[in-house]
Amino acid sequence: MTAICLYAQVHQPFRLRPYGLFDIGTGAEYFDTEQNRALLRRVAEKCYLPANRLLADQIRRSQGEFRLALSLSGTLLDQLAAWAPEVLQSFQELVATGGVELLGETYHHSLASLASEAEFVAQVERHRAAIGRHFGQRPVVFRNTELIYWDNLAPLIARLGFRGVMVEGADHVLDWRSANHVYAATTAPGLRLLPRHYRLSDDIGFRFSNRAWDGWPLTAEKHADWIAASGGDSVHLYVDYETFGEHQWADTGIFAFLAQWPRECLRRGLTFAHPGTLAARAPVAPLAFTRPTSWADVERDTTAWLGNRLQEAAQQRIYGMREAVLAARDPEVLERWRRLTTSDHLYYMCTKWFADGDVHKYFSPYESPYDAFVACMNVLQDLEQSLPVPMVEAAPPALAARRMLAARRAAMV
């Protein structure tokens, strides 16, 4: 009997103001509170509230047969607590049905796994504490930002107490294998890998409303048939939570689909399983990820965030500041810096405009990736010069850049 593992990612970043040269040193706010609040309210109205209600209803009606996993970033939790406490409560009610397993991730939805082990650990632990505080759960399965995972990361995730990881079922990783099994990490044999079935996932996440797609219109019956036909032990469907009502608007029929879909799956003898349950199963085989793999774009690599030199320069500057930020011993400064580690800031600087680039454009508050770069670098300058302790004089820039590239290459081997 094939189990369905449904997981949705819930995240909002703290977007920056169009922070200009003349804002540096003025004490001007980094983050666009007004815009961030407005966007959160909009997504809450269009997605979080109706989707939470619908899912809670489905869980109750199926008497717990239908279940799923959610991962809520810490930046989202902060925004909900500050600007939409009733929405946070709605998530808590959904989790209280018992049908939702919460996953672990970096609190600030960052790329720390690619830059700083210490920062990665700190953010994961902070997230775990927040999930315990808000929901009374201790996550046992981990999802890294944008599903970024590679073999070198596995021992660290295992050491942090997780028994499973959500990973991308990328073709270059699976090759001839099926995504519909539980695999083992090659570098941490106790750690289970649950590869995403990207086609069946993207049918909902990306293609649902695409009239040029030959699968359109996608009905719950049709999708349940496809899942049943794909076979294997477990089908892992991972999407952005904002798929429901925000990326796919209500008028596309996405909520009607979601209301019918669990019943259609159950009717075909499919079951639903939490990632934690699957991660307790014996793996069918080890699965090697020789380089950082994500769920983004057609490349399924990290080039959406670190694919050009601007992004590399910004990332290098962010993490180059960490010691000085910590030395400031100011929780507010630390939080401001950590909000800059959120991957979205680098994503806005992506210059891969073609093919899947339009997706990037849709999600960016900037006119161009260059505007994103300018605002971010100005903010970093302000933060850097406001720190009481000078940054450790870095190696000559060119050398530092080479080192970083070398480290990234080593990480890929």
Partner 1 sequence: MFGWEFPPFQAGGLATATVGLVKGLLRNRVGVTLVVPFPAEQSPLPELRLVSADGAVEELVMHRVPSPMTPYGGAAEYQEIFSTLRRASRAPGAVYGADLFAEVARYAALAGGIAAREAHDVIDTHDWITFAAGLAARAVSGKPLIAHIHATEYDRAGAGANPEICRREHAGMQAADRVVANSHALKRTCVERYGIPAGKIDVVHWGIDPDAVAPDLPAESPFRARGAGARVPVVLFLGRVTWQKGPDYFIEMAGRVAAHVPGAKFVVAGQGDMLPRLMHRTAELGIADRVHFAGAVAGRQVQRLYRLADVCVMPSVSEPFGLVGLESLRHGTPCILPRAAGVSEVIANAFKVDFWDLDAMTNQIVALLRHPALRAELADNARREVEGPRFSLEEPARLTAAAYTRTLQGSPA
Q: Which of 20, 85, 217, 286 binds partner 1 (CB under 8 A)?
A: 20
Cα gap 231→233, rounded to integer Å = 7
- Least spacing, CB of residue 398 vs partner 1, in Å: 4
- Least spacing, CB of residue 25 vs partner 1, in Å: 5
H-only helix segments in 84-235: 85-96, 117-135, 154-159, 171-174, 198-205, 220-230
End-to-end C-alpha distance for the chain, whole angstroms: 37
The crossing angle, in degrees rounded to 10, of helices 254-267 and 49-61 is 20
- Supply angle C-alpha 42, 91, 168, rounded to 5: 85
Contact 15, 344 (CB under 8 A): yes
Q: Which of 21, 96, 118, 256 binds partner 1 (CB under 8 A)?
A: 21
Q: Which of 401, 408, 411, 412 binds partner 1 (CB under 8 A)?
A: 401
Residue among 201 and 302 whose Cβ is closer to partner 1? 302
| Residues from 311 through 370 that contact partner 1 (CB under 8 A) | 312-314, 317, 351, 368, 370
Residue 238: helix, strand or coil by DSSP?
Answer: strand
Q: Does the annotation count 146 as an active-site position?
A: yes
The DSSP line for 342-359 is BHHHHHTT----STTHHH
Instruction: Determine which one of 119, 146, 242, 312 is catalytic.
Output: 146
Q: Which of 3, 10, 16, 23 binds partner 1 (CB under 8 A)?
A: 23
- Report if residue 374 touches partner 1, rule: CB under 8 A: yes
Q: Which of 400, 408, 411, 412 binds partner 1 (CB under 8 A)?
A: 400
The DSSP line for 304-334 is HHHSSHHHHHHHHHHHHTHHHHHHTT-HHHH
Residue among 201 and 378 whose Cβ is closer to partner 1? 378
Residue among 288 and 389 whose Cβ is closer to partner 1? 389
- Report if residue 70 touches partner 1, rule: CB under 8 A: no
* Token pair of 184 as six digits: 């083992």
Q: What number of other Cβ atoms are within 10 A of residue 243's Cβ?
A: 21
Residue among 326 and 377 whose Cβ is closer to partner 1? 377
- Report if residue 308 touches partner 1, rule: CB under 8 A: yes
Give catalytic residues, as residue numbers.
146
Interacting residues toward partner 1 by CB under 8 A: 20-26, 308-310, 312-314, 317, 351, 368, 370, 373-374, 377-378, 380-381, 385-386, 390, 396-401
